[in-house]
Amino acid sequence: LSDLLQILKIGGSVITDKSKPMSVNLDVINSIASQIAKFKKSNLLIVHGGGSFGHPLAKKYNLANGLKSDKEIISISKTHQAMLDLNNIIIKSFIDKNIPVISLSPIDIFYTSNGRIEKSFLDPIKTSLRLSLIPILFGDTVYDLKKGISILSGDQLVTYLGIKLKAKRIILGTDTDGLFTSDPKHNHGALLIEEIRPDNYKEIVSSFKYDPHDKKIDVTGGMLGKLNELINAAKNGIEIFIINAKYKNNIEKILNNEKVKGTRFTGWNT
């Protein structure tokens, strides 16, 4: 069963309005819930990002760089709670559509060391899946063995879980049609990269380095960070797709193994 597991990450820019703190795109959340409601097979795990809930606070308090001695400890409470608030809106939308989801907080499951997952207690995730529940996790504040506190991104989370749970595929739902040569929202000449292979990877990476629009409010590394995480999973034989989660039936289609425009990783597991 576990080799059929699909992991879906819904990016923060899909479900929230990044230009306005603490605001959601409720229509998009409801549409994604409706699409998932139609997906009858189980063995699905969902992770969502922070968008305008987690990122502004994490940035304000500089949480990705750990705990400074007299830093207000309440910044951890506020940031984690903002993520729970966003998670709650999503969970409600899913339960309204009768989808058996269960919210699991990464701060209860993962410890990082200098920002990288060092240990985890995956039993609640495994048991949920076994019961045909759909676990919904999110980018979160987590305790860090070296820095005291850190931010665990949804991208690191899906990669780690994909490998540990032997997922068949990881689907990244973003607010663009995949990965582009530069930010398509600011550059009309941006081209969709349909395949990321070992032989074109370096070129892609250098194009991101110079994108001044990337990483604006993103404390967890923007597109480049995303790419580096996913390559780890691709090397472990997991199929990886980056698609537009805002576009009509894309999520439903990809979960059902239909072709969707986007970026896929090929040739990493040979």
Least CB distance to ligand IPE at residue 74 (A): 15
| 48 to 77: interface string for ligand IPE, x by CB under 6 A | -xxx--xx--x-------------------
Nearer to ligand IPE, 184 or 198 (CB): 184
Q: Which one-letter DSSP state was computed for residue 20?
A: S
Nearer to ligand IPE, 217 or 234 (CB): 217
11 is a site residue for ligand IPE (CB under 6 A): yes
Least CB distance to ligand IPE at residue 160 (A): 12
Least CB distance to ligand IPE at residue 221 (A): 8
| 21 to 40: interface string for ligand IPE, x by CB under 6 A | --------------------
Sheet bearing 140-144, strands edge to edge: 116-120, 110-113, 140-144, 148-152
Q: How far apart are the C-alpha atoms of 122 and 39, rounded to whole Å?
A: 24
Backbone angles phi, psi at 206, to 5 degrees: -65, -30
- The angle formed by the CA atoms of residues 230, 53 and 71, to the nearest 5 degrees, is 95
CB half-sphere exposure, 264, CA atoms < 13 A: 10
Backbone angles phi, psi at 192, to 5 degrees: -70, 130
Beta carbons within 10 angstroms of residue 50's beta carbon: 31
Nearer to ligand IPE, 71 or 197 (CB): 71
Nearer to ligand IPE, 54 or 262 (CB): 54
Q: How far apart are the C-alpha atoms of 179 and 237, rounded to whole Å?
A: 20
262 is a site residue for ligand IPE (CB under 6 A): no
Nearer to ligand IPE, 11 or 128 (CB): 11
User: Which one of 76, 117, 151, 238 is in contact with ligand IPE (CB under 6 A)?
Assistant: 151
Nearer to ligand IPE, 119 or 216 (CB): 216
Residue 181 in contact with residue 205, Cβ under 8 Å?
Answer: no
Backbone angles phi, psi at 113, to 5 degrees: -130, 115
Residue 81 in contact with residue 236, Cβ under 8 Å?
Answer: no
| 191 to 220: interface string for ligand IPE, x by CB under 6 A | ---------------------------xxx
Please give the residue ranges that form the binding site for ligand IPE (CB under 6 A): 11-12, 49-51, 54-55, 58, 79, 83, 139-141, 151, 153-155, 218-220
